[in-house]
């Protein structure tokens, strides 16, 4: 059975990569955390080694000044990378595949601990797209999809299931602190 974290918000804000991100001079309404970050925020994953952040143009201009140029592992698109003592924070102006508009991602994001996270349904869809392509398939994606599905079943058993259009909500969206 899925293991519920004690306190999603407190544990999340103590994660070193999240802490590093919150220290950057970025408006929290100008970016959304995608990749495995939402899985950490919802307690689906205990840890992550990097943080994928999709930013608006205004945030990108700031990120350019504090990071080094990089290239997305999957998309090959230009990204910016900030190496920290705890791992990598990678910034991009759009998500890896077409179909995820930056403005739409930010608008539909889940606010957890005062930060915007992509909906878990989007993360699952992205990981399923990677799994379906032999060249893009990674070892971590199948276990992540299985954990997302187990997380949903656990929520349903506890009576916390959400309507289909918003079932990715981890906790009620709100700003903290």
Residue 90, domain member (yes or no): yes
The DSSP code sequence of 86-131 is TEEEEEESS-SSTT--HHHHHHH-EEETTEEE--HHHHHHHHHHHH
- Tell me the CATH number at 76: 3.30.460
Write out the residue range of the structural domain in which residue 15 sits.
8-119
Each residue's pLDDT tens digit, 45-61? 999 999 999 999 999 99
Look at the chain and report how many structural domains it folds into: 1
Residue 80, domain member (yes or no): yes
Question: Residue 4, exposed/middle/buried by CB under 10 A (0-12, 13-18, 19+)?
Answer: exposed
Residue 158, domain member (yes or no): no
Residue 55, domain member (yes or no): yes
CA angle 66, 59, 87 (to 5 degrees): 50
pTM, two decimals, is: 0.84
How many other CB atoms are there within 10 angstroms of residue 52's CB atom? 23
Residue 79, domain member (yes or no): yes
Each residue's pLDDT tens digit, 118-142? 999 999 999 999 999 998 889 999 9
């Amino acid at each position: 059975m899925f293991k519920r974290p004690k306190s999603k918000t407190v544990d999340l804000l103590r994660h070193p990569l999240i802490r590093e991100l919150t220290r950057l001079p970025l408006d929290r309404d100008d970016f959304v955390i995608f990749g495995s970050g939402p899985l950490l925020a919802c307690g689906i994953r205990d840890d992550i080694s990097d943080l994928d952040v999709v930013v608006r143009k205004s945030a990108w201009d700031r990120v350019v000044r504090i990071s080094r140029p990089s290239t997305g592992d999957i998309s090959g698109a230009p990204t910016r990378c900030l190496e920290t003592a705890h791992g990598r924070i990678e910034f991009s102006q759009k998500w890896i595949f077409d179909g995820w508009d930056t403005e739409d991602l930010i608008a539909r994001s889940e606010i957890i601990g005062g930060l915007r996270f992509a909906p878990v349904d989007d993360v699952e869809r992205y990981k399923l797209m990677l799994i379906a392509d032999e060249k893009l398939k990674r070892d971590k994606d199948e276990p992540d999809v299985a954990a997302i599905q187990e997380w949903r079943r656990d929520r349903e058993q506890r009576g916390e299931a959400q309507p289909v259009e918003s079932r990715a909500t981890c906790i009620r969206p709100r700003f903290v602190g």
